[in-house]
Structure formats: C-alpha cells, structure tokens
Amino acid sequence: MPVRHGTVNSNSSPEALNPMELLNYSYDHLIGFMARQYGKRAYHGDALFRHLYSRGQLDLKNDPLFDGNPELVSSLERDFPLNLPLIRTRQKEGDTLKFTLNLDPEINCETVLIPMKKYSTLCLSSQMGCRWNCQFCETGKLGLHRNLSTSEIMAQLMTARFALNADKLRNLVFMGMGEPLENLDALMESIDIMTDPRGLNLHAKHISISTAGYIPGINRLRDLCREYPHRNYQKLHLGLSLHSADPETRSSLMPINRVYPLDELKKSLLSSPYSQVKDGLYIEYIVLPGVTDKPEQIDKLLYFLEGLTAKINLIPYNPGSNPIFRKPEEEEVDRLWEILNEKGYSCRTRKSRGESVMAACGQLGRRSKPDGKSGQQLTV
C-alpha cells in the first residue's frame, strides 16, 4: 500500500497531465496507471520505470522491451515528453554548483550539487520558501509560498543526475529550502522513487532529512517506520536543526520553538527510531559568536543531549543578504568543538561550501528577477 493516495489524478486523460507528471509516480503507482490508461499489464509499467530512472530519458524506440509495440511507444512519448524545467541560473564556487529551476514565476527553487573525491552530495529543496522564519536563514525571509510536488523534488535530482551529469551522486540531503516534514507526503513519495532498486537505486542510509523541530512530522515519520518496515525509512538519517537548547534563545532565533518547545521536541525524538541507533540522529548546531557558544548555552545543549544517541554537526554562521550576526572565527568554532569532544560527543564541523554564491547552509532562497522565465532548456 502506498504511503499516500491521490498523488496523481488517475481519472484524467494523459493529454491533461503536466509533462513532468510522470515523475510523480512511484513504481506501484506507475503500474496501476499503465493498466488504467493504456490497458497494459505490469510488464510494460516495469519496463517504463526501469528505462526512465536508469537512463534518464524516454526514448523508447531503441528499448527492446518495447519492440513490437510502436503504438504504445508513440502514445507514451506524446503523453509524457518529460521536459525538465528550465535551468534559470547556474552559479559555481570551485566545484560546488548551485542551480535554480524554473518552477515558479515568483521564487527560485535552489538546489546545490557538491562534488567530493569519490562521490557527490545533492542538497534538495522541499518547499518554495519557509514559514518558520529562522533568524539566521535566508529562506525564511521569503515566507512560505507553497510545497513542492513529488515531481518537482524529483526534477531537481533528475536534472543533477542526467542533465548536469552527476554520475557519482550518492548522498541526498533534504536541507535546502523549506521544512521537509511539513511536506511529508511528497517527500516520502520521492524517497520511495529514489530508493527503488528497479530505478535510481539510491540507498536510504545515504539520505538525510533535516527538520527545524516540526513535531507532527517527526511523529508521523516514526509511525511510517513502524507501518512500512520494508521501505527502510528507519535507515534514513534525521537531522535536527537545534541551534540552541535554551528555550528563550531558541525562541528568539527559531519561532518554531514557540509552537513546539524543547521538552516536547525531545520526547518526540526519544520515541523515534533515529535517536537510539548509531548515525540515526544528527544535531545541527549553529555557531553564533557570543550567542550560542556561551558556557550556559553549552551546558543546556549537553543537558538536552542526555539520553539521545546523536552526533553533532557544528555549522559556522554563513551571513545572508542582510546579516544580523557576525561570522565566527575558525578558532571560535574549534573551541566549541573541543568542549563537546572532551565531553565524549562525536562532533564535526561542517565546512562551508559555496558561500560566495549564496549556496552554503542558511543562504538559499531569493525571489525571481523579472526575466526569471529565461534559462536553458534541458531535456532528458
């Protein structure tokens, strides 16, 4: 049984569907759709899914699995041309690439591709903007415009993998624009597609979901782990953007804390599978000099961590378009790392990548320019 229903309107004619709509379909959805719309059994739905996600294109004429069925090939290629959205902009700092897709006339959807020596990481967005307005985050300044659909999430991955030739793509992190757990249906549907061994075959253990502390989403994700153990949701990584364990400070930095306070947040984490296993839970902690690195702040962080199996990611503040904090010196970050390390916590500092092009943590999110419809058409 799928995680959700109604991803696509199965009563619509294929001609009424958006060209990207095919990217909305999990394997099971696609099998059912092929049966309803074209009267085909699982054989052709299976072949279409494998072809699409292993090759990144819909040229079925040369696929031997569709030999002898030219009418079906013609119908599929007509009904689903699979034109990915325009790439509005590309900005690079070294090997780090930020690209924006033409998904909305008002707000850019920004995605960051980070090549490593042996593999690449893709930082994906889940919403247009964000409603929680964290004081150190550029995305929050936009407010929440809307959720991204499954196909729009998948379009970011397909663009990186096939149009930008990220053939070493391994790690996926939902740490881009938006609060992923507020868009959980589309998020989990996209993860189902990404991890399906008959297609992209990415591994759940290489996928991280970041949350600002949206308790209903954490609890629902916990329930999905129990309800669908075969989907391997329990192997995902959950990242909590904590940033302060002092209620007053956290509320001033992250308004979400006024709705979902720290004591309730910790109870939710303790009930999830991620807080009790190695590498399941990551605590994201921003270093704001004179704010989050003070001794009393560190003491409260250590108290919050009690009972949780978690690793700590220290994130030096990356100034946005209108910075309200000072960027920390390297020594200030190292000092906090040493304190946490001495207390026995696994801790690492996340090095900023793409800061000069506003691609680092907390820097994504800007409104489209008047000529935002321009861009480079990439078809896969």
Sequence ranges of the domains in the chain = 14-79, 87-357
Helix (H), strand (E) at residue 312: strand 310-316
CATH hierarchy code of domain 87-357: 3.20.20.70
* Per-residue pLDDT at 377: 36
Give the helix/strand (H/E) hosting 97.
strand 96-101
DSSP 8-state code for residue 160: I
Q: How many CA atoms lie within 13 A of 202 on its CB side?
A: 29
Do the bridges between strand 120-123 and strand 109-115 make them parallel or antiparallel, or are there none, so unpaired? Answer: antiparallel
User: Do the Cβ atoms of 328 and 317 come closer than 8 Å?
Assistant: yes
Dihedral sign, Cα of residue 221, residue 224, residue 225, residue 230: negative
Q: Give catalytic residues, as residue numbers.
A: 361
Give the DSSP letter of residue 84. Answer: P
Closest by CA to 365, choosing from 331, 318, 328, 311, is 318
Of residues 320, 360, 362, 369, the one with CA closest to residue 104: 369
Q: Do the Cβ atoms of 148 and 109 come closer than 8 Å?
A: yes
Q: Decide: helix, strand or coil at residue 363.
A: coil
**Alpha carbon distances (Å) from 191 to 188, 269, 313, 377:** 5, 21, 23, 26
In the chain, the N- to C-terminal Cα span, in Å, equals 30
What is the reported pLDDT for 41?
85
- Residues paired with 239 in a beta bridge: 210, 282
pLDDT at position 318: 85
The Cα–Cα gap between 214 and 152 comes to 22
Query: Cα–Cα distance between 108 and 9 in angstroms, integer?
Result: 27
Measured in degrees and rounded to the nearest 5, phi and psi for residue 55 equal -115, -20
Pick the CATH number of 14-79 from 2.60.40, 2.40.160, 1.10.150, 3.40.50: 1.10.150
CA–CA dist 202, 196 (Å, integer): 7
pTM: 0.90
Q: Can you give the pLDDT of all 380 residues of the chain as single tens digits?
A: 334 433 333 333 433 456 578 899 999 999 998 999 899 889 999 999 999 998 888 888 888 888 888 999 999 888 887 778 889 999 998 999 999 998 888 888 899 999 988 999 999 999 999 999 999 998 998 999 999 999 999 999 999 999 999 989 999 999 999 999 999 999 999 999 999 999 999 999 999 999 999 999 999 999 999 999 999 999 999 999 999 999 999 999 999 999 999 999 999 999 999 999 999 999 999 999 999 999 999 999 999 999 999 999 999 998 877 788 999 999 999 999 999 999 999 999 987 776 666 756 777 776 665 443 333 333 33
Q: What is the pLDDT of residue 56?
A: 85
